[in-house]
């Protein structure tokens, strides 16, 4: 039976496999997760402390975590294979391609840039800090001052 994340899939060769959800792992699959990563259920619980949360996210980005997901997903689709056979096939999968396939399966609305990376323009009267150009320098403000007298002519024209 499919997990809640039916849309997350990865490819090995031309075949696609479902990425298992953490909440859907059975005891044998948790053992596979532990064997590849050393992670236990508590490692997946979000932390309130920002440093602890950053450490948790690093643990979940390790290659062993992705390998465990690939192993479990491939084994579910090929239950007749022994764990060593599954490991042999999944160990040859290209990490970047597997991650790209998973990323492509995520709907576009989840792929949107975070608001901090795509600021909305605000009226200049509300800006408190200058915008910076690609060179890192602040743009010059347009002058609203009009000269009191027209500029003096230069040169020796006659």
* Mean pLDDT for the chain overall: 73
Q: How far is CA 57 from the centre of its chain?
A: 11
Cα(3)–Cα(20) distance, rounded to whole angstroms? 7
DSSP 12: E
Q: Give the pLDDT of residue 92.
A: 85
Give 61's contacts (C-beta < 8 A, 6+ positions apart). none
**Domain map (residue ranges) of the chain:** 25-107
Q: Give the pLDDT of residue 152.
A: 62
Scanning the chain, the segments in alpha helix (DSSP H) are: 27-37, 50-60, 63-77, 83-90, 95-104
DSSP 106: S
Query: Which of left, alpha, beta for 38 (phi over 0: left; psi -120 to 50: alpha)?
Result: left
Cα(158)–Cα(11) distance, rounded to whole angstroms? 81
Q: Which residue did the predictor score with more confidence, 66 or 139?
A: 66
Q: Give the pLDDT of residue 60.
A: 85
Q: What pLDDT digit, counting tens, does each position of 140-156 carry?
A: 555 555 556 655 666 66
Q: What pLDDT digit, counting tens, does each position of 60-78 carry?
A: 888 899 899 999 999 999 9
Torsion 85-89-91-92 (CA) sign: positive
The whole-model pTM stands at: 0.58
């Amino acid at each position: 039976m499919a997990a809640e994340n039916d849309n997350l899939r990865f490819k090995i060769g031309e075949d696609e496999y479902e990425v298992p959800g953490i909440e859907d792992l059975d005891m044998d699959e948790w053992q596979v997760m532990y064997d590849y990563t050393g992670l236990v259920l508590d490692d997946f619980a979000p932390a309130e402390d920002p440093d602890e949360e950053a450490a948790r996210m690093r643990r979940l980005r390790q290659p062993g975590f992705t390998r465990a997901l690939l192993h479990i997903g491939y084994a579910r689709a090929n239950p007749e294979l022994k764990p060593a056979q599954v490991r042999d096939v999944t160990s040859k999968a290209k990490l970047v391609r597997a991650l790209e396939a998973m990323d492509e399966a995520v709907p576009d609305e989840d792929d949107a840039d975070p608001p901090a990376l795509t600021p909305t323009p605000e009226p200049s009267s509300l800006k408190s800090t200058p915008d910076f150009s690609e060179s890192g320098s602040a743009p010059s403000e347009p002058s609203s001052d009009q000269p009191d007298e027209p500029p003096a002519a230069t040169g020796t024209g006659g």
